[in-house]
Every structure is written in structure tokens, then in C-alpha cells.
Amino acid sequence: MSIRRTRPGRPRLVPPTTTSPPREQILHAAAQLFVTKGFAGTSTREIADAVGIRQASLYYHFTSKDEILAELLERSVRPTVDQVERIEQLAAPESPETALYALALVDVRTLAEAPDNIGLLATHPDVTSSEAFDAFRGIRAELADAYGRIARTAAPGVATAAEPGHLGDMLMHLVEVTTSLRGSGVPIHDATAAAIASTCLRACGIPESRIASAAASAATLLDDLPKNPGHH
């Protein structure tokens, strides 16, 4: 689903309470409402009211509620997808487990830093049945493929223990516990992120000694990655 860039809307009904651009305010308000009330249960009028703008003004920035949802969903995965190629370039060829560990860490951080815990939206039935989810499904599949490809290189034997097409999804589900932890009020500290990344490697049967080495190498690798890539 394409994202339309347009001119500002009409004057506000009420003054803004933040200096964020109107588009970001709309996304923030929509995310809060979608997470708490559900996508189907939220109207564009409610989103506009939450921002303090007219409903007509909202349509200067987004053509529909589905377009708002599409951008929110993309923000929960795109920053990680945009780092995959760089991670694989920086990881030593003889240490694919470092690439896998780094990918999991970046993914955890994407989900941990995503505004309003928008990663939870992908688990809502009214979201998964929406038109917006179709575009997200393709981006998510791209990330799952990266997980699977890197994992099979790091642990060739794991390919016999899991269907190739399912391995990436399995690892992504392990990382997506991040959103559940956030939803329960658990802060995602570095130690928590490291535990999740290590769990991904353990699920592939990688020995503890190699996991420790991968963690140390990934820390250096992450220092060379761009900060806050993608849509944040």
C-alpha cells in the first residue's frame, strides 16, 4: 500500500500539545486507539478527535484508516529489514551465528522502541484480516526469509529439524515475545534483548561457547550500524 505525502490540513480545532508533525501525531493517536480499542472499533473521527483536528484534515495526510494501519505495521518491521544486508556484510563469513545474533538484537530493539508497542497490532484478528495486513505480510515474509537463510548457514543441521519455510517464522516468533513483555509492563533492557537473541541461537542448536562469541562480536558489529534506520 503506497503512502501518500500531501500538504498540511486545515487549522486545528484545538492547539497541538506536542511539536511533532501532524502526520506523526495522527499515527501516535491511531496506534494508541488501535491497540486499546481495536482496529475495527476505531473510527477516523476518533483519531482526529484525539489529535485535535477535523476529520477532513486527517484525510490530507492519509486516505483511509487502512493506510494509517499499513504505515504503523511497517514501522514495526521495516527498520530491521533495512539492516539485514548491512548485518550480513559486517559479520565475518566464518561466523554466521554473529549475523543471526545481531539480527535478533536489532529486531528486539525495533520492537522495543516502536511507539505505542505497535508490534502488538499484528496479533489482533481484526488487523490480520484487514487489507493493510496484506502489504505487511510481504515485508514480514522478507524478514522471515532472512532469519531462515542466516540460521541455516549458522547451523546447517537445523534445516533437517525444521521445514526451511518455517524456520524463519519460528525465530521471529521468539523475538516477538518482546511485544508481549512490553504489553505486560516489562522494560526491555539490554540483558533482556541479549537473552532473547541467545534463545534464537539455542533454538538452532548452536553451542553455548559459540553463542557467547557471537554476542561479543555482535556488540562490535552493532556499533557500525546506522542509528535509527527506517521509519521511527
Do residue 111 and residue 218 come from a single domain? yes
Does 171 map to a domain? Answer: yes
CB 83 within 8 A of CB 106: yes
Do residue 122 and residue 169 come from a single domain? yes
In this predicted structure, what is the pLDDT of residue 18? 61
Average pLDDT, the chain: 87
Could you tell me what percent of the chain has a pLDDT over 90? 68
Q: Which residues contact 23 (CB under 8 A, 6 or more apart)?
A: 61, 62
Do residue 56 and residue 102 come from a single domain? no
User: Can you tell me whether residue 107 is helix, strand or coil?
Assistant: helix
Does 37 map to a domain? Answer: yes
pLDDT in tens, 53-94: 999 999 999 999 999 999 999 999 999 999 999 999 999 888
Range of the domain at 47: 22-72
Tell me how far apart the alpha carbons of residues 158 and 151 are, in angstroms, rounded to a whole number.
Answer: 8
Nearest CA among 169, 117, 133 for reference residue 1: 133
Do residue 65 and residue 106 come from a single domain? no
Do residue 179 and residue 212 come from a single domain? yes
User: Which of residues 53, 72, 91 is at a domain's end?
Assistant: 72
pTM here is 0.85
Does 14 map to a domain? Answer: no
Tell me how far apart the alpha carbons of residues 202 and 181 are, in angstroms, rounded to a whole number.
Answer: 20
Do residue 39 and residue 83 come from a single domain? no
Does 162 map to a domain? Answer: yes
Nearest CA among 88, 95, 199 for reference residue 145: 88
Q: What is the mean pLDDT of residues 118-130?
A: 90
In this predicted structure, what is the pLDDT of residue 156? 81
Higher pLDDT, 227 or 230: 227
User: What are phi and psi for residue 45, nearest 5 degrees?
Assistant: -65, -40
Does 3 map to a domain? Answer: no
Do residue 38 and residue 134 come from a single domain? no
pLDDT in tens, 175-204: 999 999 998 998 899 999 999 999 999 999
For 218-226, which contacts have Cβ atoms below 8 Å and span 24 or more sequence positions?
Answer: 218/98, 218/101, 218/102, 218/105, 221/87, 221/90, 221/91, 221/98, 221/102, 222/102, 222/105, 222/106, 224/90, 225/83, 225/86, 225/87, 225/90, 225/106, 226/83, 226/86
Does 51 map to a domain? Answer: yes
- How many domains does one find in the chain? 2
Does 177 map to a domain? Answer: yes
pLDDT in tens, 1-26: 444 444 444 444 444 556 789 999 99
Q: What is the mean pLDDT of residues 121-141?
A: 91
In this predicted structure, what is the pLDDT of residue 161? 57
In this predicted structure, what is the pLDDT of residue 2? 43
Do residue 162 and residue 210 come from a single domain? yes
Does 183 map to a domain? Answer: yes
- 9-13, 168-172, 219-223: which has the highest mean pLDDT? 168-172
Do residue 114 and residue 171 come from a single domain? yes
Do residue 85 and residue 54 come from a single domain? no
Do residue 192 and residue 119 come from a single domain? yes
Q: What is the CATH number of the domain that holds 115?
A: 1.10.357
Q: Quote the radius of gyration of the chain (alpha carbons, Å).
A: 19
